[in-house]
């Protein structure tokens, strides 16, 4: 590897993250929390101020809790699951006459005990993530573009140079904004001022640099692209009362000051499968609304972006210049693809750099958060040399790639219904969907093989419910924290059943906890129901730090379960 010149800034870290979007920032926080020396390098000089992703799911909420961000993220989330069905609050699919085709989500509780979907505004999310990065003193270097990568058996060398004006300008075409959110905090960031080149040596590198990932391109990851592309007009609205008590229209300054304007009309989250104009409307966080209108055959992008046409499209839904501001307008081409490999030696991908799916089920960014959670417990074990890199990274690929493929294929299956513009065919599709609705809140298990047993419950999310501890009800995570868990029911934990060698591995090496849930704590009997239905009342379940079940076994076989985990992780095998 080339020695850095005197004009080049040189840095070292254990894990380098390229890209400071939500996935990269979250991964950095999770790794830092686990004692990893992590650094982020980002091309853009500041946070992008306009909305993009707008749906947050129950699993993402639990992951953010593990990053110690529960209070912060709750302040920007809006539950969109409420009255359900015909009331238009659930995530429903309707025809041109707004008649229900299918309700994709129910009021049934999720395994995480959070709402299945919530609305949010991405700039607010990125702002709270970046504030956490700064407060925890995680190095974040902005304004540098990745130019080259080189790997050895021991490290990755990443070369950056100062980003050009073209590389840092907003590349999004057709944006209208009445003013930026004004929430980005960049004044105290390490921005590399005074140097034009940057060299970072790291044990591992994660490309979180988005759909046009430079990491993916430099390393020549192969990509599978599905034959599904449609142009959609994306509109983000800040909504107001028709007139507030002062008689003045609210401004974005009030929004910056923390005022949450009420929505003029609580139109539910819905896919309107109207062949005359396929339409999506969703909550975009408190006081916000997102509309998406598909570009029709023969319709030009330029005409669709004209303001008079935009207000004409919004008018039937009760939105106009009086009760809302048009914060952003842009045409996106919805695509579906994934990288066929999630890693090459010491370099791995996460988020949109790894996979891309249309937004019809709101799982694109949430899948990226799952990637971050999956890497956040693997990378510390790799950095410390506890596990074989091949075992852990191959399992990351098999688990996450299969999960993403299933979600993407499910999304496209539904997208073909939404995007149909031939009326007779659309009607047939609607009737078929009514007769045979897809699985509600589709949530496939992780792919196998992985760091999982072959059992049916392995690869499923573990249950979280409130526990009664000392007469106070709190969620499992809030009581016991996060990490590896061996959970059983009764009055005595399995800690005393573990032999010294496996007890040392589980508790000291992994930092695992043995938790026994008593009948009193399980006051509603929900853990008893989970164990009884899925595993066995006399079983212990081994749960990973990303909340997925590794496997379960009878109490008498708990040592074999932990030994299976150790072997599957490649403990004691020299890292590749």
311 φ/ψ angles, rounded to the nearest 5 degrees: -65, -30
- Residues 6+ away with beta carbon under 8 Å from 92: 85, 100, 101, 102, 103, 104, 268, 269, 270, 271
Least confident of 50-54, 199-203, 329-333, 384-388: 50-54
- pLDDT-based confidence at residue 350 (cuts at 50, 70, 90): very high
Among 418, 435, 452, the domain-final residue is 435
191-195, 416-420, 470-474, 509-513, range with greatest mean pLDDT: 509-513
Q: Is residue 80 located within the same domain as residue 145?
A: yes
- For residue 81, what pLDDT is reported? 61
- For residue 440, what pLDDT is reported? 60
- For residue 557, what pLDDT is reported? 96
3-state secondary structure of 24: helix
Q: Is 320 inside a domain boundary?
A: no
Q: Is residue 417 located within the same domain as residue 498?
A: no
Q: Is 276 inside a domain boundary?
A: no
Among 435, 455, 486, the domain-final residue is 435
Which whole number is the average pLDDT over 412-418? Answer: 89
Residue 261 tokens read as: 């304007």
3-state secondary structure of 69: coil
- pLDDT-based confidence at residue 572 (cuts at 50, 70, 90): low
The secondary structure element, H or E, covering residue 125 is: helix 122-135
- For residue 106, what pLDDT is reported? 61
Q: Is 169 inside a domain boundary?
A: yes
CA distances, 262 to each of 115, 156, 243, 246, 382 (Å): 21, 50, 11, 15, 48
Q: Is residue 103 located within the same domain as residue 164?
A: yes
Question: Tens of pLDDT along 154-192?
Answer: 999 999 998 887 766 554 443 322 222 222 223 234 444
Least confident of 23-32, 45-54, 511-520, 558-567: 45-54
- For residue 80, what pLDDT is reported? 67
Measure the CA–CA gap between 66 and 342, rounded to whole angstroms: 24
Q: Is residue 25 located within the same domain as residue 95?
A: yes
Q: Is residue 344 located within the same domain as residue 392?
A: yes
Q: Is residue 376 located within the same domain as residue 479?
A: no
Looking at residue 514, which CATH number applies to its domain? 3.40.30
Which whole number is the average pLDDT over 516-526? Answer: 96
- For residue 165, what pLDDT is reported? 75
- For residue 253, what pLDDT is reported? 42
- For residue 4, what pLDDT is reported? 55
- pLDDT-based confidence at residue 23 (cuts at 50, 70, 90): very high
Choice between 549 and 288, residue whose per-residue pLDDT is larger = 549
Which whole number is the average pLDDT over 71-81? Answer: 84
Q: Which domain holds residue 534?
A: 466-568
- Residues 6+ away with beta carbon under 8 Å from 467: 473, 474, 475, 476, 479, 517, 521, 522, 523
Q: Is 290 inside a domain boundary?
A: no
- For residue 79, what pLDDT is reported? 73
pTM: 0.87
CA distances, 63 to each of 11, 114, 372, 465, 532 (Å): 29, 11, 9, 15, 26
For the chain, what is the domain count? 2
With a cut of 90, say whether residue 67 has pLDDT above it.
yes
Q: Is 177 inside a domain boundary?
A: yes
Choice between 189 and 469, residue whose per-residue pLDDT is larger = 469
Q: Is residue 156 located within the same domain as residue 86?
A: yes
The gap from C-alpha 530 to its chain's centroid, in whole angstroms, comes to 26
With a cut of 80, say whether residue 265 has pLDDT above it.
no
- For residue 175, what pLDDT is reported? 33
Among 393, 413, 435, the domain-final residue is 435
- For residue 121, what pLDDT is reported? 86
Q: Is residue 428 located within the same domain as residue 492?
A: no
Q: Is residue 419 located within the same domain as residue 477?
A: no
> CA end-to-end span of the chain, whole Å?
20
Which whole number is the average pLDDT over 411-432? Answer: 92
Q: Is residue 15 located within the same domain as residue 135?
A: yes
Q: Is 306 inside a domain boundary?
A: no
Which whole number is the average pLDDT over 60-72? Answer: 96
Question: Tens of pLDDT along 275-327?
Answer: 999 999 887 877 788 899 999 999 999 999 999 999 999 988 888 888 888 99
Q: Is residue 538 located within the same domain as residue 401?
A: no
| Average pLDDT, rounded, for the chain | 85
Choice between 448 and 190, residue whose per-residue pLDDT is larger = 448
- For residue 97, what pLDDT is reported? 85
Q: Is residue 421 located within the same domain as residue 536?
A: no
Q: Which has the closest alpha carbon to 60: 550, 549, 546, 551?
A: 546
Q: Is 278 inside a domain boundary?
A: no
- For residue 60, what pLDDT is reported? 96
Q: Is 197 inside a domain boundary?
A: yes
Choice between 263 and 59, residue whose per-residue pLDDT is larger = 59
With a cut of 80, say whether residue 264 has pLDDT above it.
no
- For residue 64, what pLDDT is reported? 97
């Amino acid at each position: 590897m080339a020695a850095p010149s005197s004009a080049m800034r040189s840095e070292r870290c254990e894990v380098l993250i390229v890209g400071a979007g939500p996935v990269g920032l979250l991964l950095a926080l999770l790794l830092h929390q686990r004692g990893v020396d992590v650094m982020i390098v980002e091309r853009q000089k500041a946070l992008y101020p306009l909305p993009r992703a707008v749906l947050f799911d129950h699993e993402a909420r639990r992951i953010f809790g593990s990053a110690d961000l529960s209070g912060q993220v709750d302040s920007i989330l809006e539950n969109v699951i409420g009255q359900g069905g015909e009331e238009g609050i659930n995530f429903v699919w309707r025809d041109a006459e707004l008649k229900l085709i299918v309700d994709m989500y129910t009021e049934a509780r999720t395994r995480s005990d959070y709402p299945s979907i919530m609305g949010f505004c991405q700039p607010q999310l990125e702002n709270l993530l970046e504030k956490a990065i700064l407060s925890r003193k995680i190095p974040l270097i902005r304004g540098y573009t990745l130019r080259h990568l080189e790997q050895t058996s021991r490290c990755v060398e990443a070369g950056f140079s100062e980003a050009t004006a073209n590389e840092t300008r907003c590349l999004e075409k057709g944006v209208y904004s009445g003013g930026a959110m004004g929430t980005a905090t960049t004044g105290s960031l390490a921005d590399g001022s005074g140097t034009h080149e940057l060299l970072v040596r790291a044990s591992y590198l994660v490309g979180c640099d988005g759909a046009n990932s430079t990491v993916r391109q430099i390393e020549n990851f192969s990509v599978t692209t599905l034959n599904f592309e449609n142009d959609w007009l994306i509109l983000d609205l800040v909504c107001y009362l028709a007139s507030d008590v002062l008689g003045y229209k609210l401004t974005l300054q009030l929004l910056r000051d923390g005022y949450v304007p009420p929505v003029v009309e609580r139109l539910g989250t819905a896919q309107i499968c109207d062949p005359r104009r396929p339409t999506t409307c969703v909550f975009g966080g408190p006081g916000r609304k997102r509309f998406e209108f598909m570009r029709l055959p023969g319709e030009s992008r330029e005409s669709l972006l004209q303001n008079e046409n935009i207000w004409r499209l919004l008018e039937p839904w009760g939105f106009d210049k009086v009760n809302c501001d048009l914060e952003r307008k842009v045409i996106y081409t919805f695509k579906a693809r994934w990288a066929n490999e999630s890693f090459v030696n010491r370099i791995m991908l996460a988020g949109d750099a790894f996979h891309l799916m249309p937004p019809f089920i709101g799982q694109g960014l949430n899948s990226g958060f799952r990637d971050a959670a999956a890497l956040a417990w693997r990378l510390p074990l790799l950095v410390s040399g506890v596990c074989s890199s091949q075992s852990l990274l191959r399992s990351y690929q098999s688990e996450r790639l299969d999960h993403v493929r299933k979600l993407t294929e499910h999304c496209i299956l539904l997208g073909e219904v939404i995007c149909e513009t031939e009326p007779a065919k659309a009607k047939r599709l609607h009737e078929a969907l009514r007769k045979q609705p897809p699985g509600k809140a589709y949530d496939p298990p992780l792919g196998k093989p992985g760091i999982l047993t072959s059992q049916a419950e392995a690869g499923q999310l573990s249950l979280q419910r409130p526990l009664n501890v000392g007469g106070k009800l709190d969620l499992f995570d809030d009581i016991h924290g996060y990490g590896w868990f061996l959970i059983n029911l009764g009055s005595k934990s399995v800690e005393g059943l573990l032999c010294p060698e496996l007890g040392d591995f589980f508790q000291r090496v992994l930092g695992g906890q043995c938790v026994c849930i008593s009948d009193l704590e399980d006051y509603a009997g929900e853990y008893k129901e989970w164990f009884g239905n899925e595993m066995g009342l006399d079983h212990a379940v081994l749960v990973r730090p990303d909340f997925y079940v590794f496997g379960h076994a009878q109490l008498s076989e708990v040592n074999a379960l932990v030994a299976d985990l150790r072997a599957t992780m490649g403990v004691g095998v020299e890292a590749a």
